[in-house]
Chains A and B, each alone.
Chain A
Amino acid sequence: MLKINPGDTTATPLWLLISASLFLVLRVAASLYEAQHPPVPKEQIAWKENVEISKQIEGKPLLYYFRADWSPTCLQLETDSFCNPEIVETINKSFVPMRLSDTLKPLVLDHNKTKELIQKYAVSVFPSLVIALPDGTLFEKIPGAVKHKNLQKALDSAVKTFKAVQGSEAFARGDFDLANKLLGEYLAENKYALVDESEEFFWPFECAFRRYICLRSLSKDSEAEACLTEALKHDNNKPDWPLPLLRYVAGTISLKELQKSEEPNLEPDLALLAFVNHKDQECFEHLEKSLPRTIYKSRYDSRAARALVAKLSPDLRKQLELKYFF
């Protein structure tokens, strides 16, 4: 058995046994106490319960929180991250938070709706956070109990860029009107005020290009030019895409120099430019080059270019349809 004779080298010191037992008891007692009287945070996240209505309301990105009662990892996320005042503030201010639980008590929410959402966003772990655009498109999925620092970063990044993504999604669908509105709002808010070399550096410039395309296609040429000029004011003379594209549109560099950049998005972008310049044949040629590159189908510009096929003259459209869509 356990030896505790002082002086024996194979004895377990009494102080160790006592302190280990003491702290174990304290810990269990504290856990039980807190389980019965959970500490209430000062600021809480204002979870919305009704999924349908929430979507329509505010034009803010949606934050779905998939959780389960029986998962201690969810508890960890809730104590670590959701009790953090900065995160609570961010979520309450900039998101529409919705909590969907698999709980042992009868659910408030509709099971089917929740199931649908899980399938839609391919949720496979608990806890999972899903950030979606106001119309339900998936923006980002954050599985697991992330630390509050990482969650804060993800939320901040989402807040900064969701409008850009929303606008780009609309642009990709070919809805230039909506895209123009959203991208305009985004550019107005951010005013290119991003840290040099951060990952979100390219967003304003890409959005500027897309807005230019939207405005040109809506025949608002002067606004388009103003948008382009505004973007180029923040040109840092680096070769990072999409600056070369903007420079080409402004006429500062030639097509050859542009083609040196070897950007995969080049052909779809040139197709879009040709379209707004009413050069159907040129547009057709660029589309022919961009459509086979299936791996870029998910990129916004590529998708917008594909949407252009429907807007071409019938004979050009037929040729493309025969070749690439059947």
Chain B
Amino acid sequence: MNLAVLVYTFLLRTKKFRKIDLVFDAMLITACFGSVMQGPGMVQRFIDLMMNPATMMIMAWGFATDSMVKGTEYQALLFTRPLTRSSYVVSKTIMTWLGAQLVFWKCFLALLAANLLLHPKTVTFFTGWDVLYIVANTLSFGALAVAVHRLPTKWAGLAYILLFYSYLGGAAMPAGVKFTGSAQSATVPMEMTRDALSHVLYPVIDLEAVFHSTTFSIVPILAYISNILIYITLATIMLNRREFSYAQD
């Protein structure tokens, strides 16, 4: 882990993207007040939306990226410093994890404030399990975001969009329903593959489901830890092999 990278990534978000944050804050406050005015059902839906994997992707992206506008981190200069590329990846992951959480807590506090202002008697809040859910999932999404950003730029953007839409699609698998009893639908193998892929490295873990279930299964926890380590390893390997060169004179 590298302190300089941690501080830089934090400053990057707080100082560089300040103007964009103002817009985001304004939108957030409007959304919070709007949903509270609609009632507790709407508030709950707002919270569910925040915790949706697709939203998590966006939150994590903000920190994992070098920049949102032209002018990325000057990595050609950065990697002439005594900094191992693996420590760079790990530091970025940790900062993305902490940073994404900050965004969530800001959103929830705004929601709570709106709720207390408009409907002080009935406050829809989130449980301890939700807190753990956010903490755990921001870490895995942070690692995933950092890994995706180590791809060459055009591939990174594409990969991000694909992942976003696969998570946005949710957990339903549309199927050509042919009740023949032996699943002869031609698209089933393709759908199975696609589904398997999205499940193999699916970064989400629902801690409440794991611990509240009548049967305890360690597979989700192992999958979660394994996913994070795989993302970090992939990111490190990709970064290690990358060459930094600017155009010839």
Contact = CB atoms under 8 A, between A and B. Distances in A.
Find out whether A and B make contact in their complex, taking CB atoms under 8 A apart as touching: yes
Contacts of A9: 79, 82-85
B172 to A, nearest CB: 3
A264 interface: no
A80 interface: yes
Interface of B: 39-41, 48, 79, 82-86, 119, 122, 170-175, 177-183, 188, 192, 195-196, 199, 206, 208-209, 212-219, 222-223, 225-226, 229-230, 232-233, 236-237, 240-241
A144 B175 CA distance: 11
A196 B209 CA distance: 30
A24 B226 contact: yes
Pairs A-B, 8 closest by C-beta atoms? A144-B172, A39-B215, A145-B171, A23-B226, A20-B229, A83-B213, A27-B222, A125-B172
A11 B237 CA distance: 8
A144 B170 contact: yes
21 contacts: A9-B84, A10-B84, A11-B86, A13-B84, A13-B236, A16-B232, A20-B226, A20-B230, A20-B232, A20-B233, A34-B219, A39-B216, A41-B214, A42-B215, A84-B209, A84-B213, A85-B212, A102-B181, A125-B173, A145-B172, A197-B119
Contact of B222 (A17, A19, A30, A196): A30
Nearest to A119: B177
A84 B182 CA distance: 30
B109 to A, nearest CB: 22
Contacts, number: 157
Given A9-B79, A12-B237, A145-B171, 9 more contacts: A2-B237, A13-B84, A26-B222, A41-B215, A71-B173, A88-B214, A125-B175, A126-B175, A197-B39
Contacts of A227: none
A16 B236 contact: yes
Nearest to B219: A30
Given A13-B86, A16-B236, A123 B212 contact: no
A99 interface: no
A85 to B, nearest CB: 5
Interface of A: 2-3, 9-13, 16-17, 19-20, 23-24, 26-27, 30-31, 34, 39-43, 68-73, 76-77, 79-81, 83-85, 88, 102-104, 106-107, 111, 114-115, 118, 123-127, 143-150, 195-199
A103 B195 CA distance: 18
Given A30-B222, A41-B213, A83-B213, A73 B179 contact: no
Contacts of A124: 174-175, 177
B39 A24 contact: no
A217 B193 CA distance: 60
Contacts of B173: 71-73, 125-126
B40 A79 contact: no
A40 B232 CA distance: 35
B192 A12 contact: no
Nearest to A149: B208
A85 B173 CA distance: 26
Contacts of A31: 219, 223
Contact of B122 (A19, A39, A148, A197): A197
Contacts of A83: 213-215
Given A12-B236, A73-B195, A147 B175 contact: no
A248 B39 CA distance: 27
Nearest to B232: A16
A76 B196 CA distance: 12
A73 B241 CA distance: 36
Contact of B199 (A68, A72, A146, A149): A72
A102 B85 contact: no
Nearest to A13: B86
Given A11-B84, A68-B183, A26 B226 contact: yes
B208 to A, nearest CB: 7
Nearest to B127: A149
B179 A10 contact: no
A118 B40 contact: no
B221 to A, nearest CB: 9
A23 B225 contact: yes
